[in-house]
Every structure is written in structure tokens, then in C-alpha cells.
Amino acid sequence: MAQKMLLDITTEAPERACIKIDGAAYELRSRDDLGLKEDAEFRALHEEFEKTQTSKNWQEMAAVLDRMVLGAVIGLPVEVLVKLSDPKKLKIVQAFTTEVRSGRAATSPEKEAVAA
């Protein structure tokens, strides 16, 4: 009798989606990178961002957005972060949340590129 495979778990580092900024590739955190604490922290940042939008506290909104980007992109230097416009930061956060929600296999920057 054949066995039905229910789970196939690996402990290897996950394949991650990448983004390019000024020609340099940066990995996005994957679903496997987020433990309970990290997931809760990112959700709290998202809620804080929503609150700052309604209060129109633009400086706080920009600070929260920066924290979200730094949480989403592995090893992003602050020098690169400060060069990004707010719309580009939002695109990065959207790419991250889409990737984490879907849980799909990540693609390398050579396979898929999205212009920001």
C-alpha cells in the first residue's frame, strides 16, 4: 500500500524573492523567515502605518514606512534606503506582503524583474 505524503518539510534556507535597487540585488524575507514574533511585529507596523495615514502625521508615516522596508529587505543599507522615494518604498512593502501571503516559490532577479 502506498503512503500518502502529508508534509515534506526541509530545514534548508528558503529560496527568497529578490528585488534590484540601482543594479544591486537584495533578498526579501520569506514566509519561513517570519516567526510568531516577527509576524506580529510586521502586522503591528502595518497597523501603525494605517493609523498615521488617518492622522496625517506625515513624518511618523515616513518613519514607519522606513521600518517596514528595513524589516522586509534583508541587509538593506540605510544609505540605499534614504535614496528611495516613498512610492518606491511602498512598492517594496507591497512586493514583500504579496510574497509572504502567497508563500509561493521565490524567483531570482534574473528570472523576473519588476521595474519600480
List, for residues 24-78, the tens digit of each pLDDT value. 999 999 888 888 998 899 899 999 998 888 888 889 999 999 999 999 999 999 9
Give the count of domains, the chain.
Answer: 1
Q: 65 lies in a domain? A: yes
Q: What is the pTM of this model?
A: 0.76
Is 111 among the domain residues?
Answer: no
Give domain status of residue 76, yes or no.
yes
Domain range enclosing 88: 35-102
**Residue 47: inside a domain, yes or no?**
yes
Phi–psi pair at 56, nearest 5 degrees: 60, 35
What whole-number distance in Å separates Cα of residue 86 and Cα of residue 24? 19
